[in-house]
Amino acid sequence: MDQPIVTLRKLRSVELRTTAPAESTDFYTDVWGLAMVERGDEGAWLRGTGDEHHVLQLTAAEQNGLGRITFAVATPADIDEAARRLELRGVPIVAGPGPTGEISAGYGVSFVDPEGRVIQLLADAYAVTRMYRQEAVPVGVTHVVLNTVDIDAAVAFYRDVLGMRVSDWSEHQMAFMRCNSDHHSIAFNQAEWTAVNHVAYEMPSVDHFMRGIGRLRHHGVSPMWGPGRHGPGDNTFSYFSDPAGLVCEYTSGIAQVDEDRWLCRVWRRVPELSDTWGTAGAPSAEVRAHMAGVPDDGAFGTRPDLRELARR
Ligand SMILES: [Fe+2]
């Protein structure tokens, strides 16, 4: 079988297309705890306390959706090799390989997955100095959950092309995939249409996680679901809606996978496994509707010609 195109090192950043760019930029900086890197008419770039140049890019759009997911790759040579292998596999490339010319600089290549999501592989982007803050603010983005119309096809693509591994299944409803020792950087959720389900931000500890929830309460923002602790991944969770209705999560304590010892398991979807503390209860219809989002064609929206190419 063909080798994966690349070795992914980590999830760097997520771009969201948002119907409320100004309000959401204020929310993610003033309330959520990210810091402004740059703000323009069409959106904003925001960072956490970690060493990524930015972790969230907000782009003005008529419909909410996923703009792009960016993963770190070691070197420009790896990017060139990944591009060569993408071409061999017939995966459509939409930018690069080459210098990105973007705000975080670096050398990258962007391609389209079978459901129109744009994935960017990026090396040599600007590093920034870590911030040491007492406040309960996110380090960065730690995972993205994606609604898919075909979970087996999605898992196969991210496993075979990108070399990700399945850490656990939640029955045949969700698949948690890793690219490093974090239990998951991406998870897929079987759904009626393609959309971004939520983006999760890492808090350094359970204490930071709880204090972050407290700060949001003082801003009049209550969790839609949580706080609680998930079975698969063992991470804490608390889900909120941003001003555009996109779902954001505070999380902490993600399980660390030892590649030599980890056994993938299939979790039953029962309350004591999806809410191990018993504090969160079942997700409400409201949070489920937010997580379902609106049908998102991604790159196929502006480039319908890519649809056939990406599915080959
Ligand atoms: Fe999550």
Å from CA of 12 to ligand 1 middle: 16
The whole-number pLDDT of residue 273 equals 84
Report the Cα 24 to chain-centroid distance in Å: 17
Query: Count of CB atoms within 10 A of residue 169's CB?
Result: 18
Beta-bridge partner residues of 188? 146, 175
Q: Map residue 239 onto helix, strand or coil.
A: strand
The whole-number pLDDT of residue 77 equals 98
Please report, for residues 79, 205, 263, 312, the alpha-carbon distance to residue 183 in angstroms, rounded to integers and kept in the order given.
25, 16, 12, 30
Å from CA of 1 to ligand 1 middle: 32
Distance CA 212, CA 226 (A): 13
Å from CA of 142 to ligand 1 middle: 9
The whole-number pLDDT of residue 40 equals 86
Exposure of 82 by Cβ count < 10 A (0-12 exposed, 13-18 middle, 19+ buried)? Answer: buried
The whole-number pLDDT of residue 271 equals 83
Å from CA of 280 to ligand 1 middle: 14
Read off the DSSP letter of residue 284.
Answer: P
Beta-bridge partner residues of 143? 200
ω before 97 within 30° of 0 (cis)? yes
CA atoms within 13 A on the CB side of 247: 29
Å from CA of 247 to ligand 1 middle: 10
Which residues surround the ion ligand 1 when the cut-off is CB under 5 Å? 200, 249
CA atoms within 13 A on the CB side of 216: 29
What's the farthest any 2 CA atoms get from each other in the chain? Answer: 54
Q: Which residues, including other chains, have CB under 8 Å from residue 102's CB and lie 6 or more apart?
A: none
The whole-number pLDDT of residue 38 equals 95
Å from CA of 185 to ligand 1 middle: 9
**140-148 and 93-99 strand pairing:** unpaired
Å from CA of 271 to ligand 1 middle: 16
Å from CA of 309 to ligand 1 middle: 31
Å from CA of 145 to ligand 1 middle: 6
Among residues 81, 143, 141, which one has the least CA distance to residue 107?
81
The whole-number pLDDT of residue 1 equals 55
Å from CA of 85 to ligand 1 middle: 31
- Give per-10-residue mean pLDDT for the chain (312 aa): 91 98 97 96 94 97 98 98 97 97 96 98 94 93 98 98 98 98 98 98 97 98 96 97 98 97 94 90 95 97 92 74
Å from CA of 186 to ligand 1 middle: 9
Distance CA 30, CA 38 (A): 15
* Whether the Cβ atoms of residue 156 and residue 75 lie closer than 8 Å to each other: no
Å from CA of 184 to ligand 1 middle: 9
Query: 287: which 2 tokens?
Result: 């949070």
Distance CA 310, CA 153 (A): 12
The pTM for the full model equals: 0.97
Å from CA of 236 to ligand 1 middle: 9
Exposure of 164 by Cβ count < 10 A (0-12 exposed, 13-18 middle, 19+ buried)? Answer: buried
Å from CA of 32 to ligand 1 middle: 16
Query: 233: which 2 tokens?
Result: 């991944």
**Domains in the chain: ranges and CATH:** 10-123 (3.10.180.10), 140-292 (3.10.180.10)
Å from CA of 147 to ligand 1 middle: 12
Q: Looking at the chain, how many residues does it have?
A: 312
